[in-house]
A and B are shown apart, each in its own frame.
Chain A
Amino acid sequence: MKVRVTITPKQGILDPQGVTVERALPALGFQGVTDVRIGKHIELRYDPPGGVSAEQARTDVDDMCRRLLANPIIEDYTFELDEG
């Protein structure tokens, strides 16, 4: 199955890139831009041999996020699974 992981800096953690982009957008004439957070988007396929239930896949992907893809000390993550 297809997995899409979105990683963003945790609330309360300073995001220097987000702050800088937030300051730059008004310079282009876009007013009212706030809360810019810059993170990562990771796509992968997860097809373990023998198949995997959606529930197990969610558990496994959560484990991948917690242990490697994100650093839970500084980052939040969400993910979506797509059968097929």
Chain B
Amino acid sequence: MSSASPQPVRFGVVVFPGSNCDADAHHAISTFPGATVDYLWHKDTDLKGVQAVVLPGGFSYGDYLRCGAIARFSPIMQAVKDFAADGGLVMGICNGFQTLTEAGLLPGALIRNTGLKFVCRYVNLRVENAETPFTRACDEGDVLRIVVKHNEGNYTVDPETLAAMKANGQVVLRYCDADGVPGDAANPNGAVEHIAGICNETRNVFGMMPHPENSVEAALAGGADGRRLFQSIIDTLTVAEVAS
């Protein structure tokens, strides 16, 4: 009946020139007994056998031209695209989210915050879809308290694509108040329909502007709500491994 405990899930955190949340993401993942984590250099051309890829926050290539516009040409991104096409789990946080939209792995784009200010504060996020590999440790309607820190977090997408995304459950997280009600007052950047996080059609590529890697330790400011997103990935891949 008993089986050996599952192998830890192997994460990779991509490091672009100008990434600055790579070490935070690495640390956050390392706090999970069920995971191991390695850095992947932007010049690498393979993912070294990792099972989940995190594109971290920061200012890759100085945010030159547009946020994430240059990072998508890094050699590692071809490997990330192939990995995603094979169903591999890819999570983009902040600048990582911007890079995934620029690379065409996620729909829409992130533009300047409506307030024209860099926003750095805690936000509440309503889990709109708990049936993704990134949110399965949550329930729909759960409210997560996580920090945002960005200047271009204003998600935009054409109305037809947005309608298709909603029909397909691709809107994963929305900015909301403490009671879980989305609205302008809770929206830090003007994102369309208060969208904070989305996934692709096949739900294996996920991007969010807030930083779950900064909310993984209950003893520290900010609480530990971010754990649930990483835990979701670990659960997804652990179950997949046991099942196979």
What is the total number of residues of chain A having a CB less than 8 Å from a CB of chain B?
A: 11
Most A C-beta atoms less than 10 A away, residue of B109, B111, B112, B115? B111
Partner of B111, one of A13, A20, A69: A13
B interface, how many residues as a size bin? Answer: 10 to 19
- Contacting pair A16 B114 (CB below 8 A): yes
Given contacts A71-B102, A74-B156, contact A17 B65 (CB under 8 A): no
B116 CB within 8 Å of chain A: yes
Per the 8 Å Cβ criterion, residues 65-80 of A in contact with B are 68-69, 71, 73-74
Nearest CB of B to A10, in Å: 9
CB nearest neighbor in A for B115? A16
**Complex contact B69–A74 (CB within 8 A):** no
Across the interface, which residues of B come within 8 angstroms of A13, CB to CB?
111, 156
Residue of A nearest to B112 (CB): A16
| Residue numbers in A under 8 Å from B114 (CB-CB) | 14, 16
Identify which of residues 17-73 in chain B touch chain A, using a CB-to-CB cut-off of 8 Å. 65-66, 69, 73
* Interface residue ranges of A1-58 to B (CB < 8 Å): 9, 13-14, 16-17, 20
Shortest C-beta distance, B12 to chain A (Å), equals 26
- Give residues in B with beta carbon < 8 Å to A: 65-66, 69, 73, 101-102, 108-109, 111-116, 154, 156-158, 190
Q: 12 additional contacts, CB 8 Å, given A16-B116, A73-B157, A73-B158?
A: A14-B114, A14-B156, A16-B112, A16-B114, A16-B115, A68-B65, A71-B66, A71-B69, A71-B109, A73-B101, A73-B109, A74-B156
The 8 closest A-B pairs by CB, nearest first: A74-B109, A73-B109, A16-B114, A16-B112, A16-B116, A71-B66, A71-B109, A74-B111
Residues of chain A touching chain B, judged by Cβ–Cβ distance below 8 Å, are: 9, 13-14, 16-17, 20, 68-69, 71, 73-74
